[in-house]
A and B are shown apart, each in its own frame.
Chain A
């Protein structure tokens, strides 16, 4: 089994597909980092024009005032207990910024690395995974080499399993490079720190509304870890589905086309038909898992992180089962 996986990885390296994916990552991250740098500069100048203060030097004063204001609010007897934990979390963050002399208006590599994955998780990351996964089986079908693989003294399910495990490894490698590259590239723009800054998370949905009562601060590195873990899960699901299509379809181009159009269509569907109940069981609308962490999701009744994970898990396991059943039974006629 081990040597089968090694075979697959060596093929993947030689095919240069992985290299291509990494090149895309480098290009995109550089563009994003530059854009972020640019827009944060612009915000700062706007701020200083409007308020007559300089965001780079006077932020202490601003933060101090905001802190006092927040504390006042927290003391208000008319405030809901629910809102208060959100306030406390905000106060903690500001206090941290003041204590550690971190300008909250400044970007950091840590923030960027996280933001990048949060923005990539529903479209860009899946596209990269699709590029790798769609070729795994159909590539061998179209080149005819599948014949050579399946006439060895190795059962078919083992051949397929080795390919699937290789795919999972490659998903991790893609995330690894996404992380390392965005850390390095954005670090050049914004500096390399920021891994201990507190980030608010723990939002919940109660009766159709965002519930902030259990909000808490976690250090940035832990938050980033959670974001990348969810991204890995998304990669796993999208990878499994495109793997299945790669098994079912003989041409790589067709299998990339099918899964990509599904994905893009999913983004439209969630936009236009968000009140149509069945759409929530489609995998494409459940990909924005990190939104549950940051609390930036559209509160839709019944949709929670656990729900989305279960829906995605359902899709992944169905895909895997179909892949294996079909692959071990099908006639190879290429």
Chain B
């Protein structure tokens, strides 16, 4: 009989299913409550980098601290030099000064992350002794907006910008609390997708840069270095294979700008 055989199939499925599901339920509880069964890390965290940098104050050396995202870190540079490399090359050739740089850049960092990093006081040591602070931040804050469809883009942009600006304000406060005298170099954002960008996106990016610059200027010893114009017709030349970060030439170009702007000041340090 049809119903009879259906009853037997249901019985078997239900019974087997129950055993399997009970097992899965147990696993689910285990996985969310137990500590990680994988070995967590190879060794203790490598916080020692900070201690290695000599804190001696040599008149011919300039201490520089690089903060922020992957651009600060130098991602995309096939020569792996980054800002510290190009800047020190320049100084070596044009002045008697030498740069000792600390790079605390983290890939994918957003303004919130930078603020947390500073508030955690992990960089306290380096911050107090540094002469120049180079900051690149904001690219990751704005990046995900540009992929949204234009419907909620502008609203979302306002929200992000506000959050970003307030983070930035606090970041400056934090920097100045630890080190009131250093020069802060703040990099503007460029558009890596120049070719595929519409007008709205460009406007948003410009408005972002504009607001950032305004805020940076309120600090007396900070300078905003724009990069937008530099990259606009040079994406082919300056953007790396990944289509996002500057390549070696790009880093070189930005570094040149920074050097020109700061030549006089650096010489006086």
User: Which A residues are closer than 8 A to B by beta carbons?
Assistant: 6, 9-10, 13-14, 46, 49-53, 61-62, 65, 69-70, 72-73, 76-79, 81, 84-85, 168-170, 172-173, 175-176, 201-204, 213-216, 218, 222, 225-226, 228-230, 232-233, 289, 292-293, 304-306, 309
Q: Which of A172, A175, A306 has the most CB of B within 10 A?
A: A172
B180 interface residue per 8 A CB criterion: no
Measured CB to CB, the residues of B under 8 A from A are 3, 6-7, 10-11, 13-14, 17-18, 20-25, 27-29, 31-38, 40-41, 45-49, 70, 73, 75, 104-108, 117, 122-123, 147, 193, 195-196, 241-243
Please report the C-alpha to C-alpha distance between residue A299 and residue B31 in the assembled complex, in whole angstroms: 17
Select one of A50, A73, A225 contacting B106, CB under 8 A: A73
In the assembled complex, which residues on chain A have CB atoms less than 8 Å from the CB atom of B10?
Answer: 9, 13, 169, 173
Known: A173-B14, A305-B28. A216 touches B37 (CB 8 A): yes
Inter-chain contact A230/B25, CB cutoff 8 Å: yes
Complex formed: what's the CA distance from A185 to B40 in Å? 40
Q: What's the nearest-Cβ distance from chain B to residue A210, in Å?
A: 12
4 additional contacts (CB under 8 A) given A14-B3, A52-B195? A9-B11, A176-B17, A225-B27, A228-B24
Q: B32–A78 contact, CB under 8 A? A: no
The one of A77, A168, A204, A305 that contacts B46, using a Cβ cutoff of 8 Å: A77
Structural contact, B117 and A52, CB atoms closer than 8 A: no
Report B175 CB to chain A, min CB distance, Å: 16
- Known interface pairs A49-B196, A52-B195, A77-B49. Does A176 touch B29 (Cβ–Cβ under 8 Å)? no
Cβ–Cβ < 8 Å partners of B36 in chain A: 85, 202, 213-216
Q: Are A203 and B27 in contact (CB under 8 A)?
A: no
A52 with B243: CB separation less than 8 A:
yes
Chain B residue at minimum C-beta to C-beta distance from A92? B38
Q: A225-B24, A293-B31 are in contact. Are A6 and B7 (CB under 8 A)?
A: yes
A172 lies within 8 A of B33 (CB): no
Please name 17 pairs of A and B residues whose Cβ atoms are closer than 8 Å in the assembled complex, sorted by A. A13-B6, A50-B196, A52-B196, A70-B107, A78-B104, A172-B14, A173-B10, A175-B17, A176-B17, A201-B32, A214-B34, A214-B35, A226-B25, A226-B27, A228-B24, A293-B31, A293-B32
Most buried by A among B31, B75, B147, B241: B31
Q: Which residues of A contact B41 (CB under 8 A)?
A: 81, 84-85
The CA-CA distance from A147 to B70 in the complex, in Å, is 75
